[in-house]
Structure formats: C-alpha cells, structure tokens
Amino acid sequence: MKQYGILVDVERCSGCMTCVVACKAENLTGPGVSWLKILQVEDRQRDRIYYVRHACMHCEQPPCLADCPQEAISRSAEGVVTVNEQKCIACGACREACPYGVPNFGEKSGYFAEPTPLERQAADYRKHDPTRSSKCTLCLPRLQQGKEPFCVASCPAKALYLVDYANPDERARRLMAQAKAVLAAAGSKPRVRYLADEGALALIEERFRRNPTMA
Amino acid sequence: MEPNTISRRAFLRMSSMGALAAGLGGNLFSLRLAGAAQPSGEEVGYTFCDACNHTPMCGIKFFHQDQVITGIESWPDFPGGRICAKAFGSLQRHYHPNRLKYPLKRTTPKGSSDPGFVRISWDEAYDLAAGHLRRIKKEHGPDAAFFYVGDPKEFRSAVERLASAYGTANYGNESSTACRYAALMAELLTYGFGTTGGLPDQQTKCLLVWGVNPPYSTPFATDKLLDAKRRGVKYIVVDPRKTPVASLADIHLRVRPATTAALAAGLMHVIFRDGLEDKEFCAQWIHGIEELKAYAREFPPERVARICEVPAAQIEEAARLFATTKPGRFFLSAQGTTHDGNAVNNHRSILVLNAICGNLEKQGAVNAETYPLKDMPIWAIGPAGHGLRKDLLARKDRRLDKEFVPAWHEVMATCQTNRMVEWIKEGKVKGFFAWGINLMIWPQTHEYQAAFDQLEFAMAVDYFYRPQTHPHVDLLLPAADNFERLAPFAIKGRKLFARTPLKPLGECREDWRIALDLGCRIADPATFFHGDVVASLDSILANENTSWKELLANLEKGYAVPRPGPELFDKQAAGKLRKDGQPGFATASGKVEALSLVLAKHNLPALPEFREPMATSPEYPLVLVSGTRRPFITHSKMRHDAPWLLELEPSAVMDIHPADAEARGIKDGDQVVLATRWGRITPRARLTILMRQGLVGIMHGWADNNVNELIPRQFDPLSGYPPYKETPCQVSKV
C-alpha cells in the first residue's frame, strides 16, 4: 500500500496562491475555510522572504485522531488523515490537539445567498457542513483516480511533490533525504515535509508555534 | 481499501464507482486512471482564461454536465504552462449571482443618486446605441463618437472594425491609456519592432529582469525561471521590491522608482568606459552612438548611486556581468518602467543598453520574429486587416491626441485617452462606446466621472455592474464570459487554438458579436459578416490559409501553422526586418535609434534621457507605487467578481517597509492615511520587507480606496502616460 505525503519546496514557492484557490475550486470549501494557506515568512536579518504552505501534515501519529472524543478522525491505509463530518460534533479538540492548528471550522456554507449551479451539481465529497471540522484530504478522491492532489497538479512553480513513503522512486528518495518535518519535536511524524534551509525552518517553526491556526 | 478509514461521504462516492473499486481492491492506488473516472454524462470543454492581459492567453480545460461546469484545470497541450489563481477564480465568477444577464437602460438623468436601470431587450438596446451613433454623426460628425476597449481585450479587433466602419478617427483602449503601448512606442522608436523580451532559452546566459515580477504577473513562467537559474543563467533584477524573481537574482538593484534612465546611463557609462560594448554592432547598427557615449559619460557610478539610491559598486558589477555574459536577454514589463513622467525614454534606455551589448538578433538574445504569422499579432494589438485599420489611419490627422502627444500620434495607431476630460468638456467627444471600461484607470478618477456625466450618450459592456463606472453610462450590456465566448481563437507562437463555449447564462452575448451586431445596424451588414462571429474569425484565419473548422478539428493540440524555414538571426543584415526588404532595422534611420529621429523632429528629448522624478519633501517624503501587483488580481478584475480571490485580501492593503512603519508608529494591519498633494485614502498597512525603505505600494482598483485619486494628471510628453509610480506621498496613523 502506498503511503502518501507531500514535499514542499520552499525555495520554489513564490506565493502566487494558485494552490489555495485551486483547492477551493476542487473542494468547494466555504467562506473563511481554507484547507491550504500560504504564509509569507520574512527574515529581516538576512533580507529573505519565504512563502510557506500551511495545511494538514497527514501525520503518522496524528494527535487530532487521538484526541477526538467522537472517533471521527481516522487514518486511511494509505496514510491519509480524514475527518468524518457526520460524526464530528465541532468541539474543537482536534484543532487544540494539532501542533499546526490545522482543522478548520466555518460558519456559512456558501459564498452567495443561494448555492450556485456548480455547488448544486457537485459530487458529495465536495459538499461540506461548514460548522464541522474539515481539512485537507490530500484529494483522496483524486488519488483514487491515479491523479495527484489538486494543489500539486496545479502549482505553476512545481514546488510541491507527491511522494510515496512506502516505495519512493529515485527522485523522491533524494528529496526525502533533504526534507525536514516542521515542529518535529511534537512527535506526530508529519508526512508533509519541507525543503528549506535551517534558517528558514527555524522561522517557519517560530511562526507555526506563535499562531498555529493562522487566524 | 479500508472503508472505515475515510469519511462516509467519500466512501459512498467511491462505492458508486462500483465494480471498479470492489474488483481491484488494494491495487486501486497503483493504477493510472486519469480521465476514466469522470461521472457518466460529464463532458470536456476547452477555453482560455481572460483574467490577465496576456492576449496569447492560458488554456483551461473544463468539465461540464448539462451545461453546468463542474471543474476546471490546465489544458494539458496548451503551450505556456499551468493556469493560476485568477483562472480558478474565473470559475466562481462565472456563477456569481450578480453577473449581468440582461441589457439595461438608464431611466434617470445623469448625476441622479440612482441611475434607475431597467431591463430591455437586445433589439431595443441595439436600436438605442445605433440611434445615438447615427445622430452623433449627423449632429457633430463621426469623430465625436469615441470607441474604447478596456479589459478584457481579446475582442479589440471587432470594436476597431466597428469604429473604422462608422467613420470616427477616435478609437482608444486600455493599452493606449496606461498599459502596453508606451513600452511598445519605445520599442518601435528604438528597434522598429515590438518586444519585451522574455524567458531565457537554452542559449541565454544572462537575463536582465527590469521592473517586472513574472511569478506574479505571469505565474506560468515561474517554473521556467527556476529551471533556468538551476542551469546557471545569471539574473540581474532591477526592482525596488524584494520580489520572488529578485530572490533569484545574482545582482538585485533596488532602485529608486522612476530613475530607470539614470541607472541605464550609469550601466552604459561603465560599459563604454571599460570598452565592453559590442563595438561592431554599435558602429554598424546604432544611430547616435557618439551622442549616446557623450551622454553616458555624464553618469559615472557615483552620481548614479546618488540618483538611484543603489551602491556604485553594484552598478559596476551589474554592468560588467551583463556586458560580458553573452548572449544576454531582457525580460521587461510594459508598465514597471513606463508609469512615470519619463515613461518612453526610461523604457528606451533599457532597450539601448541591451543594444550596445549586441544582444539583438542573436541566438539566445532579443530577437524579432523570423516568420510572424500573417496579420495575426497578439490580440492586444489585433489584426490590421480585420480592424480595417487602414481606414482608421487615413483619418489620423483628425485624431484627438495629435496636439497632446505628437510623437505618439505619429508612431501609434491608437488614440491616447488621458485628455478625455478636456475633450468632453470642449465638446469634442459626445458619445462613448466602451467595452470593459473602468473609470478608475484614470488618475483623478472623479474628473473623468464628472466629464462622463456630460456626454450625450455612453454605453458599456461588462460582466458586472461597476459602481465606479456604470452610474455614468446610459446603456449597459451583459457580456458573455470566458466559458461562454467563442471569439477569438488563441495564438500561441505558430499554434492556433479554437474553443468550445457553453451556452451563455441569461441573455449574455459575447463582446465580439455585440460589435458585429452594432456594425450591421450602422453600416453594410456584409462588412460585419451579418453578425456571424465564425465568419469574422475565418476572415482572419484565411491569412494563414486555415479556418475555425480546421482549428476545431485540431482542438486539443492546436493547429500548427507550417513554419516556412528555420529560425534566422542577424535578420537586419539580411534585409528581413524592413518592409522594403533593405538591410537594417524598421526605424527611420534603419538602425537601432539611440538618438530617435521621430522624437528629434517633435523637439522632444531624442536620447534616452533621464528626467528627475517629482521631488519628495518633508511633507511628502515617501514615493507611492500605484499598482504593485498581487498575484491573484489583475487590475480590479476578479476581486469582487470571485470571492475566493477577494477573501485572500478583502480590503485595500498598502505595503510599507517595517522601518518606515515603525517610525510612524504603525503596526501591521493598522488603518492608515495615505496622502499625496492630490488626494488621500485610508487603506490598511502591511509591514513587509518586500518594499524598500522610502517606498509604499498599493494595488489600484479598490472602489473605496482608489489610489489613482492620489495620482496627478501630469503626463509623459512622449506617451501621455500618468505618473502611477513616481508620486511623493506621506503615510500616517488614522
């Protein structure tokens, strides 16, 4: 069984926000809910700006899963962490537990007074109860069709790489050797990892720690 | 597969894949099933994005069922690269409930608090517009009707044809106001052909990126820039801001805005001083080389360092790198270097710098097209034949911009529009027929709004009701969007692409057809193909012996116009750049013109001279950049039209360097007063080292914080362009 993860090449990301909007277009998440954010992280000393993905890390040992009182969170055989919106009671424990503050809770389901034809005709996996916990699914329905997650497939800079931790190809192996977990000390073993120098990584960690939900 | 590990809904959907999932079990993930899992009944369509101004556009593949779009992605075989946030936004825009879907007619006098728009039929709308066109011609003459295309711009050719057939001399557009054409004018004056350079190719060793940040303005170029950097291409980036492309730079010159010509003169000073110029090319192909050398001598690096606020050593280093790393190429913007009072000569200075290094007409350098398609330029310019441009140009002597910008009037085929306030007040323009117009494009917008209220008749075509513009018009027509338009086809190099539009929502009609329909009412319908859009396109495609039908037959991969031969270089020596077939460049002198004969004739600065920008003062110590890009917005487009994009930045945000902010007690997110001598707005501050100290930047097009109200109506005498990136300002806490 494949074990999916994403490597984020911080050196290539230019903060164009295509992945953020592509995710909205694919998953039709509601207002105020973004399964994927891009942070602008600045290093004033070294005069550098980094654009950094913030989304579910699909941890091997997800603290959200452990802390959910409803057992609404599970990890699929291929390592994708998902939330069952129907079991979720919106208690927020998952968000509290997540070292990265990832799970989203919204208020409104649509951007407009009435659902658009696009929303009405959408497949079930693109329909959400905005008040329940939701987050990146690694585009599981796309993975099941042999396609990359939509953010990976859409990135104009080609800064995101889908990798299989169970059976990495040559390129993936090389990149995985360089990739680092953010907030590794939390012990959750994230499968979304970053290609970034130590200076950048320290700043990213500081930013994640200071305001994990990026509210 | 373990069904209990995924959400119930996702599981149910997978179950609906039925036998496939059940039968394949654990092997499901090893299969490549792309395209196989579309729900039954879903169809594929193809179109182009209209969110930007790259009129060779980006390709969108979309999926639809019962005429409803269910998703979009990049068109795999469409040249260029992947679509960006704006293209994804166009999907949400398509279904925005506020889209205009029916023609609307004003029922109250101009200036009323409510224009009282009411729905009318297309016939009534056309009768109204055509009636005014006929009346204006009879009462005031045809030149009193002004035709204009703002944004999007793909259908310019149809409107140009309408203007030409109607008989006016006055057709203008967004490019002839403030966008592409000042740079184009500089290119035509200097090289005799249009080029902003572009991405490095396999031969290019050095790339000079000046005033442009491709990852934001052309995101599809980002991966190519990164890959070229990895292959060892050297990057010199000139930009006041620490942009993503500047982060790739071997040398980043964080220049003070609007000092382009001084920096270029400084670079040329070093190159001439050290004898690094391409002496053969200079002697043979540059007109005014001695005058240029004498001029550059006045710009030693120490002086330029003071003017441009970059270190002298960096100027030396950049000059040497560019002059000795051959072949070099530039990647320029049409706006970064032309939005100031010295627009054309600032831009010309870069072109001349490139020329003295001999980076013209060589492999890997800056080149004219060897085999341009026959009368199929980018849609921002449009085919001259289809636009009936010959007739329009025959009336050029009557064109309104003749006295305002004489050199522009001589060189450019389109009317510069910035004097519209005066022309309306003086009664020279009585009717305005506009597609995609946004009055906020103009500096001191309120003066244009007031002037528009004095027009006898104004018409606009748009996707949405625009509160800054449409209260000032009499007729508002609903435009079909990029998923509903047929015209035009896409031109990508030598490949031509058709598209497969859906039925428009409501009564929307495509802009191209609206122009043809109006043409049928005011002129011989045969001239306007009896309103047949495909016939209109076929008349263009016939130039290359093809047709819409043939393009459709090659829908996914495009129709490739056969290439007559290999790419050629040194085309000026072979007599392949001039219409008369003589050796040389297509300029007045036949050479690259460091000294412009056209500018000299009009008593304008004929060398690419520096002109000191507006002076800052203790009262206004900072410089304002109107139009610093956000990657998810072009102009004001897509902002309120697509909430996915608006959500990324829901209100006007001004970028300011942390040191400038802290000196004023301003914190990130604070509302501030941004003021110039001409106006004030109150955006929120974003503290970022993207900005250099002394500079603030903000996107234009915010209706409630219109930065162009802060820009004066002081125009470059060569192009008539406004000083969007030069005006002194101050920032303070609210």
pLDDT (tens digit per residue) in B255-300: 999 999 999 999 999 999 999 999 999 999 999 999 999 999 999 9
Which among A56, A60, A46 has a CA at the least distance from the CA of A197?
A46
* Closest residue in chain B to residue A4, using alpha carbons only: B29
pLDDT mean over A109-133: 94
Given a cut of 70, whether residue B1 has pLDDT beyond it is no
Query: Residue A16 and residue B97: Cβ atoms within 8 Å?
Result: no
Query: Residue B39 and residue A82: Cβ atoms within 8 Å?
Result: no
The tokens for B92 are 């949400």
Question: Chain B within 8 Å of A118 (Cβ-Cβ)?
Answer: yes
pLDDT mean over B471-476: 98
Beta strands in B224-377, from DSSP E residues, in sequence order:
234-238, 251-253, 286-287, 328-332
* Pairwise CA distance, residues B149 & B157, whole Å: 10
Given a cut of 50, whether residue B481 has pLDDT beyond it is yes
* Pairwise CA distance, residues B162 & B185, whole Å: 24
Burial class of residue B97 in the structure, from the number of CB atoms within 10 Å of its CB (0-12 exposed, 13-18 middle, 19+ buried) = exposed
pLDDT mean over B72-85: 96
Residue B28: per-residue pLDDT: 31
Given a cut of 50, whether residue B195 has pLDDT beyond it is yes
Query: Residue B29 and residue A1: Cβ atoms within 8 Å?
Result: yes
Residue from the list B34, B643, B688 with its beta carbon closest to the beta carbon of A42: B688
Q: For residues B410, B413, B416 and B417, what is the CA-based torsion angle, rounded to 10 degrees? A: 150
Residue from the list A49, A121, A122 with its beta carbon closest to the beta carbon of B689: A49
For residue A29, the SS3 value is coil
Output the furthest CA–CA distance in chain A (Å, rounded).
Answer: 50
pLDDT band, very low/low/confident/very high, at B638 (cuts 50, 70, 90): low
* Closest residue in chain B to residue A72, using alpha carbons only: B7
pLDDT band, very low/low/confident/very high, at A102 (cuts 50, 70, 90): very high
Residue B2: per-residue pLDDT: 33
Question: Chain A within 8 Å of B230 (Cβ-Cβ)?
Answer: no
Residue from the list B12, B28, B645 with its beta carbon closest to the beta carbon of A124: B12
Question: Chain B within 8 Å of A116 (Cβ-Cβ)?
Answer: yes
* Pairwise CA distance, residues B697 & B725, whole Å: 9
- For helices B511-522 and B156-166, give the axis angle rounded to 10 degrees: 10
Is the previous residue joined to B618 through a cis bond, with omega within 30 degrees of 0? Answer: no
pLDDT mean over B536-565: 98
The dihedral built from the CA positions of residue A143, A146, A149 and A152, taken in this order, carries a sign that is: positive
Q: For chain A, how far is it from start to end, CA to CA, in angstroms?
A: 36
Residue A108: per-residue pLDDT: 87
* Pairwise CA distance, residues B695 & B655, whole Å: 9
pLDDT band, very low/low/confident/very high, at B41 (cuts 50, 70, 90): confident
Q: How far is A77 from chain B (nearest CA, A)?
A: 6
* Pairwise CA distance, residues A109 & A33, whole Å: 10
DSSP-derived secondary structure for B1-59: --GGGS-HHHHHHHHHTTHHHHHHGGGGGG---TTTTPPTT-EEEEEE--SSS-SS--E
Query: Which residues on A lie below 8 Å from B249 (Cβ)?
Result: none
Given a cut of 70, whether residue B203 has pLDDT beyond it is yes
Average pLDDT along chain B:
93
The tokens for B71 are 């998703």
pLDDT mean over B237-244: 97
Q: How far is B492 from chain A (nearest CA, A)?
A: 18
Query: Which residues on A lie below 8 Å from B72 (Cβ)?
Result: 25
Count Cβ atoms below 10 Å from residue A114 Cβ, excluding itself: 9
Query: Residue B219 and residue A18: Cβ atoms within 8 Å?
Result: yes
Residue B25: per-residue pLDDT: 31
For residue B490, the SS3 value is strand
* Pairwise CA distance, residues B214 & B221, whole Å: 6
Q: How many CA atoms lie within 13 A of B495 on its CB side?
A: 14
Return the percent helix, strand and coil in chain A, to nearest 5: 30, 20, 55
pLDDT band, very low/low/confident/very high, at B640 (cuts 50, 70, 90): confident
* Pairwise CA distance, residues A38 & A53, whole Å: 5
Q: Between B267 and A213, whose confidence is greater?
A: B267
Name residues 33-62 of chain A within 8 A of B (Cβ): 34, 40, 42, 44, 47-49, 51
Query: Residue A141 and residue B690: Cβ atoms within 8 Å?
Result: no
* Pairwise CA distance, residues B685 & B660, whole Å: 11
Given a cut of 50, whether residue B608 has pLDDT beyond it is yes
* Pairwise CA distance, residues A198 & A196, whole Å: 7
Residue from the list B21, B97, B643 with its beta carbon closest to the beta carbon of A113: B97
DSSP annotation of B595: S
Query: Residue A26 and residue B9: Cβ atoms within 8 Å?
Result: no
* Pairwise CA distance, residues B684 & B653, whole Å: 5
The tokens for B374 are 């026959």
| B105-120 residue pLDDT tens | 999 999 899 999 999 9
Query: Residue A1 and residue B2: Cβ atoms within 8 Å?
Result: no
pLDDT mean over B354-372: 97
Residue B729: per-residue pLDDT: 98
Name residues 180-199 of chain A within 8 A of B (Cβ): none
* Pairwise CA distance, residues B658 & B649, whole Å: 19
Residue B434: per-residue pLDDT: 98
Q: How many CA atoms lie within 13 A of A104 on its CB side?
A: 25
The dihedral built from the CA positions of residue B691, B695, B700 and B703, taken in this order, carries a sign that is: positive
Query: Residue B6 and residue A76: Cβ atoms within 8 Å?
Result: yes
